[in-house]
Structures are given as structure tokens and as C-alpha cells.
């Protein structure tokens, strides 16, 4: 399935990320694709921030560009935020434990194309494109039906919560 949405500001990106946050659970993986500066990290940080606020936790949310992975503990599940841009080979996925996290955590993966054959089949893909107006067009694509109610609910919250 495919859906598209236009994000006219960084705030709208934050609203969309916040809409997804309470709907995710262990085993949900979101693949974040797009050029540098398209909004992948902003989306991930806002989603993580919302999850942490929901459990009254305050934590710095740095980009995992140099560490490859940052993890955040929620009450019942961890969030793994990975930036795979600097991944040098697929064996690092196993060394990091990311292959196990696909089943046990909420995973947000930037530069997912670097996973090759390890790309989770049940993941939701979000592709961020910068438009001529400097907006972000986001394309959501998925094959696994488990995403249908999550996406429907998130887009409803997003459309009702846009500034």
C-alpha cells in the first residue's frame, strides 16, 4: 500500500511523528529514507521525544550518525534509532544487535538501503522528498497489513492536529 502526505513545516513533521508515537509496539520498524536534510532525523527525534514525554522521561536525543545506534527505554519496550549511513558492512548489524531489535523493539532506521537483504519485510517505509516549495512530501509504503490501522489512526490524528 502507498499513501502520500505533504508536510509544509518542521512543525507538521513533528505532529506526524507524534501521531505515530503511541501506536507503535515491539516489532515495528520504520525505515526513513530521503536525501540529507529531508527530515528523517527530525521525524525520528520527535517520535522518540513524544514516547519519552508519555512516560514522563526527559532525555537528550542526539543523532546516531557517529554511534550508529541510540537506544531509549520506555516502560514496556525499547526504541532503537539507527543511522546506517556510516555502516561499513552488514556484519555490523549483528554486532550492534539490530537484527534482534527488529523483533523486540521499535526500530527507526535512517539510510535503510544499507541493510541490503537484512531489510525487515514487515517494515513501514517513509520516504521524504524536498519539493520546489521547500516542503516535504512523504510517501508511506508498506506490505504488511499490521500497519493499516496504525497508519489510518496516525494520519487521522495528523490531519486533525495540523497547525
> What pLDDT, in 10s, does the model give residues 10-28?
999 999 999 999 999 999 9
CA 96/CA 118 separation, integer angstroms: 13
pLDDT for residue 144: 97
All structural domains of the chain, each given as residue ranges with its CATH number in brackets, are: 2-161 (3.40.50.300)
- CA neighbours closer than 13 Å in the CB half-sphere of residue 135: 10
Strand, helix or coil for residue 63: coil
Query: Which of 22, 18, 73, 82 minimizes the C-alpha distance to 47?
Result: 18
- Stretch 102-122: mean pLDDT: 93
Burial class (CB in 10 A: 0-12, 13-18, 19+), 78: middle
- Are the CB atoms for 58 and 50 separated by under 8 Å? no
CA 163/CA 156 separation, integer angstroms: 14
Burial class (CB in 10 A: 0-12, 13-18, 19+), 59: exposed
Q: Express as a percent the part of the chain with pLDDT over 70.
A: 98
40 vs 57, more confident: 40
User: Given a cut of 90, is residue 150 above it in pLDDT?
Assistant: yes
At 29-41, the pLDDT tens digits run: 999 999 988 999 9
Query: Which of 112, 151, 136, 108 minimizes the C-alpha distance to 37?
Result: 136
Amino acid at each position: 500500500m502507498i499513501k502520500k502526505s505533504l508536510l509544509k513545516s518542521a512543525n507538521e513533521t513533528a505532529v506526524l511523528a507524534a501521531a505515530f508515537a503511541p501506536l507503535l509496539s515491539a516489532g515495528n520498524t520504520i525505515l526513513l529514507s530521503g536525501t540529507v536534510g529531508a527530515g528523517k532525523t527530525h521525524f525520528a527525534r520527535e517520535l522518540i521525544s513524544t514516547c519519552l514525554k508519555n512516560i514522563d522521561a526527559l532525555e537528550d536525543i542526539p543523532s546516531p550518525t557517529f554511534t550508529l545506534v541510540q537506544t531509549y527505554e520506555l516502560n514496556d519496550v525499547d526504541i532503537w534509532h539507527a543511522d546506517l549511513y556510516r555502516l561499513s558492512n552488514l556484519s555490523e548489524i549483528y554486532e550492534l544487535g539490530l537484527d534482534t531489535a527488529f523483533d523486540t523493539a521499535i526500530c527507526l532506521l535512517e539510510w535503510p538501503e544499507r541493510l541490503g537483504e537484512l531489510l525487515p519485510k514487515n517494515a513501514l517505509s517513509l520516504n521524504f522528498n524536498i519539493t520546489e516549495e521547500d516542503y516535504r512530501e512523504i510517501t508511506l509504503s508498506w506490505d504488511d497489513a499490521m500497519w493499516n490501522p496504525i497508519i489510518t489512526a496516525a494520519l487521522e490524528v495528523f490531519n486533525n492536529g495540523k497547525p
